[in-house]
């Protein structure tokens, strides 16, 4: 296969963790005889320093033409005081919007040897293997009107949560399709006892469910899900929800794994050509640029390497190669290869690049 991947290292630890993932991609290319054409593009603070803006329009066009994008992280204190519209994170927002990425996937899988690093009891987190699918481009973060004003009784403010059926349908269908490739369970999260948007959400989920008779569906209210995610996370497979609920619950779910450095994500858009199953996607670890760790080889590149596995699977259709990457990460951890954040006291952690090399050597 000959595919094009845009690489956006970004800021802070971004360049180190993407370099570690690219070492793994190199190993995949040699082992399976693929050619991956890589184009490096600046984003975030890096782009502000080089070009004066967090993402240039011409670079967005380069991203649109690529098969997939692998990103490190953006941001850092040196760009905190510039005008809001030009901050590093604006580059990410422009990228998500420009590529029409409507679904954010965050898998949380706990490696058996790392269950003790979670702040939640090992017996609860052992064997957890779930994916949260969050609607990314609708809901209260984008609804109009949104404003604050004052009247004779004092200050007041309004935000608007709005969903069109098509926005719900496409993300819910994606969640069911994903469940089909896994343990065939979908939990749909809403607040249908209070919100009209949630009642529409539930209605549409119930309409789509019969198309997937092999997938089990349950509806869970968002407040109940907040509890169940930490009490019985092992019960869930694919969990789908609207934007703001997803923003909050994905952060809660990330705690289960023990270190933020372990977790990947994918933001997906429409399928490329009908029936191909392949989607344009942006793949990045869930963490930020960890400025205080930058340049020291201390960052855990696992989240970025597992994001690369998601890229191979969802945007390039390379299932076997994706599984090889997942297994190589698991085998490195099982053999005691640990970065600083997940090492046991008294053991010697490896650097970011050595972890990447350890995974690459197992492909």
Instruction: Name the residues that contact ligand NAD, by CB under 6 A.
Output: 13, 17, 73-76, 89, 92, 259-261, 284, 287-293, 299-300, 341
Q: Which is nearer to ligand NAD, 233 or 261 (CB)?
A: 261
Reduced DSSP (H G I as helix, E B as strand, rest coil) percent helix, strand, coil of the chain, to 5: 45, 25, 30
Least distance to ligand NAD, CB of residue 13, Å? 6
Q: Which is nearer to ligand NAD, 94 or 220 (CB)?
A: 94
Active site residue: 26, 141, 327, 354, which one? 141
Active site residue: 49, 50, 80, 251, which one? 251
Tell me how far CA of residue 339 lies from CA of 71, 125, 228, in angstroms: 20, 21, 30
Least distance to ligand NAD, CB of residue 121, Å? 22
Q: Which is nearer to ligand NAD, 120 or 257 (CB)?
A: 257
Active-site annotation holds for 251: yes
Q: Which is nearer to ligand NAD, 338 or 362 (CB)?
A: 338
Least distance to ligand NAD, CB of residue 21, Å? 11
Tell me how far CA of residue 35 lies from CA of 26, 272, 295, 317, in angstroms: 9, 20, 29, 14
Least distance to ligand NAD, CB of residue 341, Å? 4
Tell me how far CA of residue 264 lies from CA of 51, 88, 189, 211, 240, in angstroms: 29, 20, 21, 29, 17
> Cα(266)–Cα(284) distance, rounded to whole angstroms?
7
Active site residue: 159, 247, 327, 354, which one? 247
Cis omega before residue 348 (within 30°)?
A: no
Active site residue: 26, 113, 162, 191, which one? 191
Q: Which is nearer to ligand NAD, 76 or 269 (CB)?
A: 76
Q: Which is nearer to ligand NAD, 300 or 314 (CB)?
A: 300
Active-site annotation holds for 223: yes
Least distance to ligand NAD, CB of residue 137, Å? 16
The structure tokens 């945007």 sit at 315
Indicate the pairing of strand 35-40 with strand 154-160: unpaired
Least distance to ligand NAD, CB of residue 221, Å? 28
Active-site annotation holds for 141: yes
3-class DSSP assignment, residue 308: helix
Which segments of the chain are extended strands (E)? Answer: 2-10, 35-40, 68-73, 103-109, 129-135, 143-151, 154-160, 185-190, 216-221, 238-241, 264-271, 279-285
Indicate the pairing of strand 264-271 with strand 279-285: antiparallel
> Cα(245)–Cα(242) distance, rounded to whole angstroms?
6
Please give the positions annotated as active site.
141, 191, 223, 247, 251
């Amino acid at each position: 296969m000959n595919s094009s991947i845009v690489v956006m290292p970004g800021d802070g630890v971004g360049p180190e963790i993407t370099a570690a993932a690219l070492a793994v991609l190199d190993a995949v290319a040699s082992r399976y005889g693929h050619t991956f054409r890589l184009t490096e593009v600046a984003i975030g603070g890096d782009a502000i320093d080089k070009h004066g803006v967090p993402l240039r329009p011409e670079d967005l066009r380069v991203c649109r033409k690529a098969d997939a994008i692998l990103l490190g992280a953006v941001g850092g204190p040196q760009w905190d005081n510039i005008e809001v519209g030009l901050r590093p994170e604006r580059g990410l927002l422009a990228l998500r919007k420009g590529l029409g990425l409507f679904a954010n996937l965050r898998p949380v899988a706990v490696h058996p040897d790392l269950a003790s690093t979670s702040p939640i009891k090992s017996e609860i987190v052992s064997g957890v293997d779930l994916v949260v699918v969050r609607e990314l481009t609708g809901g209260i973060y984008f609804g109009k009107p949104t404003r604050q004003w004052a009247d004779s009784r004092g200050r007041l403010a309004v935000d608007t949560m709005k969903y069109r059926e098509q926005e719900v349908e496409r993300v819910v269908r994606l969640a069911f399709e994903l469940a089909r490739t896994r343990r065939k369970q979908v939990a749909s999260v809403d607040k249908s006892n209070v919100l009209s948007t949630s009642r529409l959400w539930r209605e549409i989920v119930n309409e789509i469910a019969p198309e997937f008779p092999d997938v089990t569906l349950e509806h869970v209210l968002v407040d109940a899900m907040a509890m169940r995610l930490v009490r019985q996370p092992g019960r869930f497979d694919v969990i789908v929800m609207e934007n703001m609920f997803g923003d909050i619950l994905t952060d809660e779910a990330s705690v289960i794994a023990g270190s933020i450095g372990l977790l990947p994500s994918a933001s997906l858009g429409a399928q490329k050509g009908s029936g191909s199953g392949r989607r344009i996607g942006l793949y990045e670890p869930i963490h930020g640029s960890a400025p205080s760790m930058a340049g020291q080889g201390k960052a855990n590149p696992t989240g970025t390497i597992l994001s690369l596995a998601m890229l191979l699977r969802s945007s390039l259709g390379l299932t076997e190669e994706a599984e090889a990457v997942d297994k190589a990460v698991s085998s490195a951890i099982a053999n005691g290869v640990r970065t600083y954040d997940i090492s046991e006291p008294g053991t010697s952690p490896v650097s970011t690049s050595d972890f990447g090399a350890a995974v690459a050597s197992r492909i």
